[in-house]
Homo-oligomer: A and B are copies of this chain.
Amino acid sequence: MPEFIRLIQPDQAFKIWMGAVQNVISDIEEIETIHALYRVTANPVISNDFLPAFDRANVDGFAVRAMDTHGASESLPAYFKGKGEVPMGSAPVFNIKEGEAGLIHTGGMIPAGADAVVMLEYTQSLQNGEIEVMKPVAAGENVLFKGEDVKPGEEIIEAGVRLRPEEIGGLLALGITNIMVKRIPRVGILSSGDEIIPPGETPKPGQVRDINSYTLGTIIEPTGGTPVYYGILPDVPDLLEKKLAEALDCTDMVLVTAGSSASSRDFTTNVIAKMGKPGVLVHGINIKPGKPTILAVCQGKPVIGMPGNPVSAVVIAKLFVQPMVKKIGGLSTFPHQLTLKARLTANISSQAGRDDYIPVRIIASDEGYLAEPIFYKSNLIFTLASADGLLHIPANANGIAADEFVDILFLRD
């Protein structure tokens, strides 16, 4: 009877597979920073400039010498000689000397001689041009000093960072309009199965359209990989072997999505095993859904045999494929898995010793979010289209009772 000789726990399988891949993308390319969203930095980025580039006012007010405001209060204001206004976008045309104050706006350049800004709220401009100051300021108050944010030579972004809008803004603030990033990893996707036809064709009796190639491709793309579709092959070992070798040559990672039957799994495993060392590392994971997953590394590149069931394929893609795409893409740290806290609406039982992932619908209620388990038969693709998230029941539990609070792995982003 063809069965899995030994099922591996998902966390152990994950460690084995991730640990066996040392190679990450070494190709780098220079691109415009404004187009670098979600790209991964190739090198540490070093600042070439001061930020801010000059001492700036951090509020609207009057630039003064702090010592001149000493003791000022509403009942006993300090009086200053108004020196005019600092224009935005250019250097002030005056200095501040003892007893002088210059009107300045947020972001304005602090005039020489001044070392603090009194907020407008605590001042009064008098008809004779004098400025009344009703509150003392300390030296440096309401001033952002040159280089206080960043100085030349400082490392501002580490290597292996996925660039967010926040980093892109920071780079542009320093005038870094081009940046070296890792090449986007190419991920080959092969479909194998005598019954599989392209989505555009009309199935004859016994045939089904290819779902998983594109579900996986569209999961890979926002993760930071480029899917490369290698089409559909019949279950003929020589053909799969040839195509898989080609995919391994031309891409950085390969997904083989085969049928759900034991025979197509065995067939896929045997072909993957021929592709080079160390070969198949895990064949069968103690997880539901997703048990018939094959984890391999061939010629230093990760290869994964995906389960045929579309729900299983999505679960395995989230837990295994996405982190691997990020790893080979050069990300030095992985984003944390975010969850949504919700109250379970029904009892769920689970087999102890196995990690279960149950699709759930999320319902907003007055008392917070509710998680409603979706009970489904295998191979129903629209189960997932109706699911908002997955509930993880760890191996050491044999179920979760209704009304308990649970952490949902959210599927809408």
Contacts and interface: CB of A to CB of B under 8 A. Distances in A.
A23 interface: no
Which of A52, A86, A166 has the most chain B CB within a 10 Å cutoff? A166
A170 interface: yes
Given A60-B262, A88-B235, A314-B166, A175 B202 contact: yes
Interface string A114-151: 00000011000000000000000000000010001110
A170 B205 contact: no
Given A214-B34, A314-B165, A382 B51 contact: yes
A165 B336 contact: no
Nearest to A35: B218
Given A177-B199, A310-B169, A380-B148, A260 B106 contact: yes
A5 interface: no
A88 B177 contact: no
Interface string A342-385: 00000000000000000000101000010000000111111111
A29 to B, nearest CB: 19
A88 B338 contact: no
Nearest to A54: B205
**A interface bracket (residues with beta carbon within 8 Å of B):** 35 or more
A387 interface: yes
Contacts of A91: 204-206
A222 interface: yes
B194 A88 contact: yes
Nearest to A313: B169
A382 B150 contact: yes
A316 to B, nearest CB: 13
Given A173-B209, A208-B173, A105 B264 contact: yes
Contacts of A120: 1-2, 262
Given A166-B314, A206-B90, A378 B58 contact: yes
Given A105-B264, A206-B109, A341-B341, A200 B177 contact: yes
10 contacts: A88-B261, A90-B205, A105-B259, A165-B218, A165-B314, A166-B387, A169-B214, A169-B385, A177-B199, A338-B338
